[in-house]
A and B are shown apart, each in its own frame.
Chain A
Amino acid sequence: MRYGMAIDTNKCVGCSDCVVACQTENNIPHGYARDWISETVSGTYPELALEIRSERCNHCDNTPCVRTCPTGASHVIEGGIVKVTHEECIGCGACVESCPYDARYFHPDGYVDKCTFCDHRVKNGQDPACVSVCPTYCMYFGDLDDPNSEVSKKIATRKTKVLAPEAGTKPQIFYLI
């Protein structure tokens, strides 16, 4: 069992529905975000290419955030989901510094918070909130170890990329390009 995501950059329109869904589902305080939209324009005028991505914690295979956590609050649960135990977090910032995606933030209550792949929904067989609301169906969530899952099929048949592979964290969110 290895949860992962595939996100189709050709279908994403950057509507931020995933961002709002996450904030509602997980009660994210105002002004903070566990997921976000980023837009990259590249090329030379007039030949420009636009890529829109919905980004969040990559739930890496090689987790620097878990390695550098001094108390063990950051940990990996079944399915490779990276989580933070709020009661064990002292807010030292080591995991925030160790994430090349800056996917973690300090909750106003003092602990570090991040995307959980909505593990409380996944446990019941549902998709994460962001995936379930996407109006263009550009996100696929599922078991990467199962070759017949929709997400595995997408990754197998399409060209993919991951973010900052040179940071060596083996991210598990694949962008279909």
Chain B
Amino acid sequence: MNEELIISGRMNPYIDPHLEVWEWQIPLYLFLGGLAAGLLFFAAYFVMTGKEKKYPTTVKYGPIVAFIAIVIGLTALLLDLKHPLYFWQLYTTIRIDSPMSWGAWVLLIITFVSLIWIFSYLKEAFPKYNCKIGFISKLMGIFIEETGDGWEWKYPWLKTFEKYTQNNRYAWAWVLAVLSVILGVYTGILLSAFNARPLWNTAILGPLFLTSGFSTGAAMLMIMSKSHEERLSYSRIDLFLIIIELFFITHLFMGFLASSQVKVEAAHYFLGGEFTVTFWVNVIILGLVLPAILEAMELLKYKIPVIIPGLLILWGGVMFRFIMVEAGQIIRYLY
């Protein structure tokens, strides 16, 4: 057999023997971004379709979790930069060619839109002013005052703004729905834009990460919700999303196996190579197939504690992103 042995004299930190440029920060952000995209999309969708009464957790509390997820994700992104104090350079230009550039802009915009959304629903979400966490209570004390049966904004402009957001919820829902889909797709496109990394360089990654993000969002809402009806419908949504995800993953590997040699080798890392067990056990079995079975059983009226499929899906989502980022940096062109 004709073999090749390549020896390189280069040993740059983070680059050799294989790339380790993106460590835990990027996959964590990809997970949190997808989660937030899912939470925000469902909130927007059920307002758009006029079902906000049936999905109270989704509409009122989901966006709060999404906002926290985005803030943690942004912090992770900042920590990932090797020149963090220069991060503002991202916002001095818009480069359509670079997914990271428009992704940064979308993240900035969606952070503010989700804040407006939370603001609009704040009175409905927390009718009583009884926050136990000291600093939040102090912070809110600047803006609000207690009244007989609840609380009210101290300043008239806040009241006017609240009225405005409440009267235009339908329009904001559309804005949020579009932005959340872009955010969800962006988590995948970020990776697929690199033609130097065979594992990432496939267009299916956008829809795959979007579906996975929505699925983790639905799982989170399933865990958070106290209404049986709401939980059951998320079980159904999740089951549907998992089936689509499995279909996309099959597509991903079929695409690799039908492509150039380097992509065939990339697929073999998952079909017998070093990532086989980690990927199949954590992502496919624990993260997708098992929760799908549990949810199907729940729909068939078996009593399943909702936390089990919910946590499994979240675990699968985290592992999927960590494995894709790690493996993508190991698999490379050889010459």
B147 at interface, CB cutoff 8 A: no
User: In the assembled complex, which residues on chain A have CB atoms less than 8 Å from the CB atom of B104?
Assistant: 70
B130 at interface, CB cutoff 8 A: no
User: In the assembled complex, which residues on chain A have CB atoms less than 8 Å from the CB atom of B90?
Assistant: 70-71, 90
**Residue of A55, A93, A166 contacting most chain B CB atoms (<10 Å):** A93
A41 at interface, CB cutoff 8 A: yes
A16 to chain B, nearest CB (A): 7
Question: Known contacts A38-B7, A96-B21, A105-B14: does B81 contact A91 (CB below 8 Å)?
Answer: yes
User: In the assembled complex, which residues on chain A have CB atoms less than 8 Å from the CB atom of B4?
Assistant: 40-42
- CB-based contact B97/A68 at 8 Å: yes
- CB-based contact B12/A105 at 8 Å: yes
B10 at interface, CB cutoff 8 A: yes
User: In the assembled complex, which residues on chain A have CB atoms less than 8 Å from the CB atom of B16?
Assistant: 102
User: In the assembled complex, which residues on chain A have CB atoms less than 8 Å from the CB atom of B100?
Assistant: 68, 70, 92, 94
C-alpha gap A59/B239 in the complex (Å): 48
Contact for A163 among B14, B93, B335, CB less than 8 A: B335
Stretch of A3-11, A29-37, A126-134 that contacts chain B: A29-37
- CB-based contact B12/A92 at 8 Å: no
Residue of B nearest to A72 (CB): B93
Contact for A100 among B11, B86, B193, B196, CB less than 8 A: B196
- CB-based contact A100/B12 at 8 Å: no
- CB-based contact B12/A90 at 8 Å: no
Residue of A nearest to B197 (CB): A97
- CB-based contact A42/B83 at 8 Å: no
C-alpha gap A139/B84 in the complex (Å): 39
C-alpha gap A90/B82 in the complex (Å): 7
User: In the assembled complex, which residues on chain A have CB atoms less than 8 Å from the CB atom of B9?
Assistant: 16, 19, 33, 36-38
C-alpha gap A42/B19 in the complex (Å): 25
- CB-based contact B3/A44 at 8 Å: yes
B165 at interface, CB cutoff 8 A: no
A146 at interface, CB cutoff 8 A: no
A93 to chain B, nearest CB (A): 4
C-alpha gap A93/B104 in the complex (Å): 14
A177 to chain B, nearest CB (A): 13
- CB-based contact B194/A89 at 8 Å: no
- CB-based contact A111/B98 at 8 Å: no
Q: Which of A28-65 contact B (CB under 8 A)?
A: 31-33, 36-44, 55, 64
C-alpha gap A43/B80 in the complex (Å): 42
**1/0 contact trace for A75-103 toward B, CB 8 Å?**
00000000000011111111011111010
B95 at interface, CB cutoff 8 A: yes
- CB-based contact A100/B332 at 8 Å: yes
User: In the assembled complex, which residues on chain B have CB atoms less than 8 Å from the CB atom of A91?
Assistant: 81-84, 86
C-alpha gap A116/B76 in the complex (Å): 31
Contact for B7 among A16, A39, A71, CB less than 8 A: A39
User: In the assembled complex, which residues on chain A have CB atoms less than 8 Å from the CB atom of B243?
Assistant: none
- CB-based contact B194/A90 at 8 Å: no
- CB-based contact A69/B13 at 8 Å: no
User: In the assembled complex, which residues on chain A have CB atoms less than 8 Å from the CB atom of B89?
Assistant: 71, 73, 88-90
- CB-based contact B5/A41 at 8 Å: yes
User: In the assembled complex, which residues on chain A have CB atoms less than 8 Å from the CB atom of B335?
Assistant: 163-164
C-alpha gap A84/B22 in the complex (Å): 20
A19 to chain B, nearest CB (A): 7
C-alpha gap A67/B210 in the complex (Å): 23
A110 at interface, CB cutoff 8 A: yes
C-alpha gap A92/B51 in the complex (Å): 41
- CB-based contact A40/B5 at 8 Å: yes
- CB-based contact A42/B2 at 8 Å: yes
User: In the assembled complex, which residues on chain B have CB atoms less than 8 Å from the CB atom of A73?
Assistant: 89
A168 at interface, CB cutoff 8 A: yes
C-alpha gap A91/B133 in the complex (Å): 37
User: In the assembled complex, which residues on chain A have CB atoms less than 8 Å from the CB atom of B86?
Assistant: 87-91, 110
C-alpha gap A112/B21 in the complex (Å): 11
C-alpha gap A36/B86 in the complex (Å): 30
- CB-based contact A92/B2 at 8 Å: no
User: In the assembled complex, which residues on chain B have CB atoms less than 8 Å from the CB atom of A87?
Assistant: 86
B87 at interface, CB cutoff 8 A: yes
Question: Known contacts A42-B2, A70-B95, A70-B104: does B80 contact A98 (CB below 8 Å)?
Answer: no
B interface residues, Cβ below 8 angstroms from A? 1-16, 19, 21-22, 80-84, 86-87, 89-90, 92-93, 95, 97-101, 104, 193-197, 260, 262, 329, 332-333, 335
Closest 6 CB pairs of A and B: A91-B82, A36-B10, A110-B83, A91-B83, A100-B196, A70-B101
A interface residues, Cβ below 8 angstroms from B? 16, 19, 31-33, 36-44, 55, 64, 67-73, 87-94, 96-100, 102, 104-106, 110-112, 163-164, 166-169
